[in-house]
Chains A and B, each alone.
Chain A
Amino acid sequence: MSLPECDVPEVPLPDALVRDCNGLPSLSQQQVVRHYLRLSQHNYGVDSGFYPLGSCTMKYNPKISEACARLDGFAEAHPLQPEHTVQGCLSVMFQMQEMLKQIGGFAAVSLQPAAGAHGELSGLLMIRAYFKDKGEPERCHILVPDTAHGTNPASSTMAGFEVVEIPTDEKGNICLAALKAACSDKVAALMLTNPNTLGLFEQQVEDVIACVHDCGGLVYGDGANMNALTGIIRPGELGIDVMHFNLHKTFGAPHGGGGPGSGPVGAGELLRSYLPGPVVMHAPGSESRNETYSTAMPDSSIGRMAAHFGNFGVILRSFAYILLHAAEGLKHNAHHAVLNANYLKARLADDYPVPFDRICMHEFVCQGRPENTYARAFDISKRLMDFGFHPPTNYFPLIVPEALMIEPPESEGLETLDRFVEAMQAIAEEARTSPEKLTNAPVTLPIGRLDEVRAARHPILIDPASSTSS
C-alpha cells in the first residue's frame, strides 16, 4: 500500500533497539483482496443460511446497525476525549443502561464487560466483594447446575471460588433436594441459566431462588438465553441479584466469527454499587456546555474489567436493535423464537428422541441418534452441511447423550424450518438405510471431515514456512 513521503527531517534511530526484519509477507493489494474474498466464500454465516446453533441465538443482524456503527462521529471517537466532546457516545451508553435496566428489572447496569463470560467474571467478583464487605469471606462455594455452560464453572474458578455441581431432576429442572442439601453458610451464589441449556424454563424457579437466598447466598443469572424471555419476564423481579446480557445474542449484534461481543451486567439494589466501571451518569445542570452525561465509578466498584468503556461498537448496534423493536417488538421476538423451537421439536421428535420432553423455550435438545441406529450427533451434524445447513450445537449439555441443541431464532420462517425438518428426516432415513452417508459426510464442500485428533496431538499453530522474526 502506498504511504505518504516523510515531510519532516529524518531522525537517527536508536540502533540498539532496531530489529532486522519484521517477517511479514509482501503482497499486492489485489492478492490480499482475492485471498480474503476466497476465504469468505469458504465460510458460513447467518446471512448464508439457517444457523440453529443452540445457546448462540444466531438471528438476523440488521444492516442499518452496521451503517450506524461506521458513522465517523462514533467510529472515530477516542475514549480519552474530554466528556463534553463525546456526549453522543455517552448518551447512547446512558440510554442503553436504562433500557437494559427496564428489560432486566435491575437497579443499575454496567456496559463494560466485553462478552458473556466476561460478564460472569464481573458478577462473581461483585459477589466476592459483597461478602468480603459483609464480613462473610468464608462463603466460597458457587453452585453450578450440571447443565450449565462451561463458562460458569470456569468463571467461578477465576473469581477464586469452589464449584459445587448440582444435578438435574427427571423433568429437566434443578434437583431441588440436591440444591437444599448444598445450601449452607459456605454458599456465595448459585449460577442460574434460565431457561436452562435444555431449553426448559425452571419450573420451581421461585423455590430455587428462595432456597439460595434463605441460606444467605445470592443468585447469578446467566443471560445467554434471554431471547426467550425479553418482554415476558424481568429476571430482577424473579429475584436474580446480578446477571449478564449477551448483546450479540439477544439484541441482534453480529457474532463476528467468534466475537467481539458484549456482556453488560445488571444488578439489583444489593450489588449495584459493586458494578465494574466507569458507568455513565445523567448530570443535568451543567447544560451550558452541553455536558449532560458524565462517567463515574460506582461507590464500591470492583474496578475496571477492560481498558475503556466496553465494546461500544457492539453496544451501539444493540441500541439500534432495541430502538427498532421497542417493547412490543422484543416480546414478539420471544414469542416467535419459542414458537419456532416448539414447532421444530414437535416435527423432529419422531426421528430424534427428546429427553425431558415438555414445552420448551427458545431451544430444545434432542438426541442425534434415531431409534435403531448407531448414528452419532457428530455424523448427523456433518451430514447436515451437505444439505446446506449449519449444524446445531453438539454434545451439549453434557447430561444428554448424543445431544443436538437446536435453536431456531425468530427471524427464521416456516419455510426454512420445514426445509430443515425435511433434511433431518432424510438424514434419519439414511442413518437407518445407508449409515456410511453420514460417516463420510460432508461430501459437498471443498474439504472433507478434518482430523481434529491429529491437530491436537501434533499442533501446528503457525505456518512453518513463515520465517519468524530475524
Chain B
Amino acid sequence: MTFIPHTQRERDEMLAAIGCAHIEELFADIPSSIRYPKLELPDRLSEPELARTLKELADRNQVPAPEMSFLGGGCYRHYIPATVDFVLQRAEFYTSYTPYQPELSQGMLQAMFEYQTMICQLTGMEVANASHYDGATSLAEACLLALNLNERTKIALAPGVNPRYRDVVETYLAGHHANIVTDNRQPCDQADLHDLVDEDTAALVVQTPDFFGQFEDLDGLAENVHAAGALLIVVTDPISLGLFRPPGECGADIAVLDGQSLGLPASFGGPHLGVFATRTSLMRRMVGRVVGRTSDAAGRRGYVLTLATREQHIRRERATSNICTNAALSALAASVYLATLGAQGLTKVARLCHAKAHYAADQLAQLDGCVINRHAPDKPFFKEFALSLPKPAAVVNRKLLDDYGIIGGYDLSVEGKGFDNTMLVSITELHSRAAINQLVSAVRDICA
C-alpha cells in the first residue's frame, strides 16, 4: 500500500503544466551513473501482513506484567492513566509540527505553556523549556550551559549520577576544552562532593534520588558550590517530587530529569522526555523551545514560541544549542499525566512507591546472605535499593526469569565499583504486596 492519490490522468495533466513528458525528466540534474540504484529491501507488505509481522516481532519480546518486573535504573513502569493516550491519539496534536504559526497551533502552545508551569511547580524552579530528548541529553546541555556561562573547564559529577547520563555528558563534552571529574568512592557524603569543586569547576552535578535510589544530603551544598563560583545541577526523579523536596528548594541552578515516568511507556528506551528547568537569571541562556503568553490586537490571550534569539534558526553558530525537534508529544503526555493525577494523586503514587519499596527491602533483608544498600546503609531511599545476594545477580536473574517468570533487578556488577552479586531492585505503585512476596520467596529459593 502506498499513500499516493494521483491517477495517471492527473499525472499527465501535472506534467503538461510543468512542460515535461515524464516524471524521470525532473531528475535530470542527478548524476546518471548512480541514478536509480537497485535497493535490496524486503518485499512490500500489505497492511494485514504488516500487522501480523509486527505482532510476531512484538511477541518475541518477553514482557511480563509490570508487577512481575523489578527493573528500573532510570526507566520505570508506572501506571499510565487512560486519559494520556486518549489525548496523545488526537491527530490534531500528533500530526502537527513545531508551532511556528501560533494562530493555527494554539492547542499545542497552550499545552506546552501549561507543561512549563507544571514542571516549575514540580521542580520548584522558575522557568522550564518545552522539552529535550531525554534526561541524559538534558543533563549534557545543562553542563554545556554551565561551561559556556562561566568559561571554566571542569564538570564535577557525583558518583551517584546514572552511568548512562555520565556517558552522554562525556560524549557531548568531546568538542569542548573541558573534562569531567568524579569520585567513585561509595558512600560519598557531602564533604566528598564539595571536594570535587574547585576554581575551575563550572558545575557540580548531583543526582537525588541517585542511581541507587538513595537521597543525597543537599543541605547547604548549593551555598558552598555557589561560593566557589560554580552552578549546582540537580538530576532527579519526577515521581519523588510528589512527596520530597524539589531541586528549587535546595538551591539548584538547573534541574533536569527524565520524564518517562510521567505517562510514557518504557518503549525500549525511547521516546522519553528530557525535562530542563532553571532560574529566571539563566532564562536567556536556556536551550530549546520556550512558549510564552501574549495576546492579539483584541486583547485575547494567546501563546507563542518566544525568546527565539537563543535558537539555531535565528542565531545559527551563536545559538545556545542546536536543538530543533524536541519531544513535544512526550511533554504533552507528561502534562496530561500530571493534570490527571493532580497534587494529591502524585503524592499518593510517591507514597505507595516509597512504602512498597521499603516493604520489599525489609522482606529481602531477612533472607540469609542478603543485604540492602551495603555500600551506604544509612542513606534514606525512595523506590529503588541495591540488593546484595549470596550469588551473582546474573545467575539469580536467570532463574527468576526461567523458573518464576520474573524479571529481576538491574545487575549492578556490570557497573563495577564493588557491586558484585548486587542488583538494583525497583518498585513502583504497580507492585502489589503479593507480587513482592513472590519475588522474596523466589529469591529465597534460588539462594538457598
Which single residue of chain B is at the shortest CB-CB distance from A36? B87
Docked complex: A39-56 residues within 8 A CB-CB of B: 39-48, 51, 53, 56
Task: State whether B53 touches A257 (Cβ < 8 A).
Answer: no
Tell me, yes or no, whether B343 is within 8 Å of chain A by CB: yes
Task: State whether B44 touches A329 (Cβ < 8 A).
Answer: yes
With A260-B325, A308-B268 as known contacts, state yes or no: A394 contacts B128, CB within 8 Å: no
A22's partner among B92, B105, B241 (CB-CB below 8 A) is B241
Tell me, yes or no, whether B314 is within 8 Å of chain A by CB: yes
With A53-B97, A154-B312 as known contacts, state yes or no: A234 contacts B34, CB within 8 Å: yes
A43's partner among B2, B71, B105 (CB-CB below 8 A) is B105
Task: State whether B304 touches A36 (Cβ < 8 A).
Answer: no
Provide the bound-state CA to CA distance between A237 and B176, in Å: 33
Task: State whether B167 touches A446 (Cβ < 8 A).
Answer: no
Name the B residues within 8 Å of A1 (CB-CB): 81, 83, 340-342, 345
Closest CB-CB distance, B208 to chain A, in whole Å? Answer: 9
Interface size on A, residues (CB 8 A): 199
Provide the bound-state CA to CA distance between A205 and B27, in Å: 14
Mark contacts of B414-432 with chain A using CB atoms, 8 A cut-off: 1 yes-contact digit, 0 otherwise: 0000000000000001001
With A151-B322, A343-B14, A359-B29 as known contacts, state yes or no: A233 contacts B103, CB within 8 Å: no
Name the A residues within 8 Å of B164 (CB-CB): 304, 307-308
Tell me, yes or no, whether B168 is within 8 Å of chain A by CB: yes
Name the A residues within 8 Å of B96 (CB-CB): 43-46, 51, 255-258
Stretch at the interface among B5-13, B151-159, B193-201, B223-231: B5-13
Mark contacts of A446-470 with chain B using CB atoms, 8 A cut-off: 1 yes-contact digit, 0 otherwise: 1111111011100111110011111
Task: State whether B306 touches A455 (Cβ < 8 A).
Answer: yes
Name the A residues within 8 Å of B300 (CB-CB): 446-448
Task: State whether B37 touches A308 (Cβ < 8 A).
Answer: no
Task: State whether A306 touches B270 (Cβ < 8 A).
Answer: yes
Tell me, yes or no, whether A221 is within 8 Å of chain B by CB: no
Task: State whether A47 touches B91 (Cβ < 8 A).
Answer: yes
Provide the bound-state CA to CA distance between A10 and B351, in Å: 9
Name the A residues within 8 Å of B55 (CB-CB): 68, 71, 73
Name the A residues within 8 Å of B340 (CB-CB): 1, 27, 29, 32
With A36-B111, A78-B77 as known contacts, state yes or no: A72 contacts B58, CB within 8 Å: yes
Provide the bound-state CA to CA distance between A447 and B107, in Å: 11
Tell me, yes or no, whether A82 is within 8 Å of chain B by CB: yes
Which single residue of chain B is at the shortest CB-CB distance from A462? B117
Provide the bound-state CA to CA distance between A391 and B98, in Å: 13
Which single residue of chain B is at the shortest CB-CB distance from A30? B83
Task: State whether A325 touches B351 (Cβ < 8 A).
Answer: no
With A47-B92, A410-B4, A448-B300 as known contacts, state yes or no: A469 contacts B121, CB within 8 Å: yes
Provide the bound-state CA to CA distance between A154 and B309, in Å: 13
Task: State whether B124 touches A470 (Cβ < 8 A).
Answer: yes
Task: State whether B380 touches A59 (Cβ < 8 A).
Answer: no
Tell me, yes or no, whether B57 is within 8 Å of chain A by CB: yes
Q: Which of A8, A16, A26, A339 has the most CB of B within 10 A?
A: A8
Provide the bound-state CA to CA distance between A144 and B311, in Å: 17
Task: State whether B104 touches A114 (Cβ < 8 A).
Answer: no
Name the B residues within 8 Å of A324 (CB-CB): 1-2, 44-45, 47, 50
Closest CB-CB distance, A53 to chain B, in whole Å? Answer: 6
Closest CB-CB distance, A128 to chain B, in whole Å? Answer: 6
Name the B residues within 8 Å of A359 (CB-CB): 25-26, 28-29
Task: State whether A74 touches B268 (Cβ < 8 A).
Answer: yes
Which single residue of chain A is at the shortest CB-CB distance from B215? A17
Tell me, yes or no, whether A118 is within 8 Å of chain B by CB: yes
Task: State whether A150 touches B355 (Cβ < 8 A).
Answer: no
Closest CB-CB distance, B262 to chain A, in whole Å? Answer: 11
Closest CB-CB distance, B432 to chain A, in whole Å? Answer: 6
Q: Which of B92, B162, B291, B308 has the most CB of A within 10 A?
A: B92
A463's partner among B62, B114, B131 (CB-CB below 8 A) is B114
Name the A residues within 8 Å of B322 (CB-CB): 117, 120-121, 151, 154-155, 157-158
Provide the bound-state CA to CA distance between A79 and B136, in Å: 14
Tell me, yes or no, whether B75 is within 8 Å of chain A by CB: yes
Provide the bound-state CA to CA distance between A236 and B285, in Å: 37
Mark contacts of B328-359 with chain A using CB atoms, 8 A cut-off: 1 yes-contact digit, 0 otherwise: 11101000101111111111110110111011
Mark contacts of A11-39 with chain B using CB atoms, 8 A cut-off: 1 yes-contact digit, 0 otherwise: 10110111101111111010011011111
With A56-B97, A114-B134, A451-B295 as known contacts, state yes or no: A156 contacts B57, CB within 8 Å: no
Task: State whether B144 touches A158 (Cβ < 8 A).
Answer: yes
Name the A residues within 8 Å of B302 (CB-CB): 447, 450
Task: State whether B325 touches A452 (Cβ < 8 A).
Answer: no
Tell me, yes or no, whether A176 is within 8 Å of chain B by CB: no
Tell me, yes or no, whether B316 is within 8 Å of chain A by CB: yes
Tell me, yes or no, whether A75 is within 8 Å of chain B by CB: yes
Closest CB-CB distance, B447 to chain A, in whole Å? Answer: 19
Docked complex: B31-68 residues within 8 A CB-CB of A: 31, 34-45, 47, 50-51, 53-63, 66
Provide the bound-state CA to CA distance between A62 and B140, in Å: 34
Tell me, yes or no, whether A223 is within 8 Å of chain B by CB: no
Name the B residues within 8 Å of A340 (CB-CB): 14
With A64-B51, A462-B128 as known contacts, state yes or no: A205 contacts B106, CB within 8 Å: no
Name the B residues within 8 Å of A303 (CB-CB): 167-168, 170-171, 174
A466's partner among B2, B91, B121 (CB-CB below 8 A) is B121
Tell me, yes or no, whether A116 is within 8 Å of chain B by CB: yes
With A39-B111, A259-B131 as known contacts, state yes or no: A24 contacts B41, CB within 8 Å: no
Name the B residues within 8 Å of A287 (CB-CB): none
Stretch at the interface among B183-191, B243-251, B384-392: B243-251
Provide the bound-state CA to CA distance between A290 and B61, in Å: 11
Provide the bound-state CA to CA distance between A342 and B122, in Å: 50
Tell me, yes or no, whether B317 is within 8 Å of chain A by CB: yes
Docked complex: A294-323 residues within 8 A CB-CB of B: 302-314, 316, 320, 322-323
Task: State whether A307 touches B265 (Cβ < 8 A).
Answer: no
Tell me, yes or no, whether A159 is within 8 Å of chain B by CB: yes
Which single residue of chain B is at the shortest CB-CB distance from A442? B103
Task: State whether A14 touches B83 (Cβ < 8 A).
Answer: no
Tell me, yes or no, whether A125 is within 8 Å of chain B by CB: yes
Task: State whether B4 touches A26 (Cβ < 8 A).
Answer: no
Q: Which of B45, B63, B322 has the most CB of A within 10 A?
A: B322
Task: State whether B137 touches A391 (Cβ < 8 A).
Answer: no
24 A-B pairs, CB-CB below 8 angstroms? Answer: A1-B345, A3-B348, A16-B219, A17-B244, A73-B60, A74-B268, A77-B267, A79-B269, A118-B137, A163-B316, A234-B37, A259-B98, A259-B326, A308-B270, A309-B270, A313-B268, A326-B41, A338-B26, A342-B14, A391-B104, A447-B103, A455-B304, A463-B113, A470-B249
Given A22-B343, A76-B266, A447-B103, 12 more contacts at CB 8 Å? A19-B249, A73-B59, A114-B271, A114-B327, A150-B316, A234-B37, A306-B134, A311-B133, A312-B267, A339-B15, A461-B113, A468-B126
Sorted from nearest, which 10 A-B pairs have the closest CB atoms? A308-B269, A160-B175, A73-B58, A79-B269, A43-B107, A45-B95, A256-B329, A88-B60, A258-B328, A23-B121
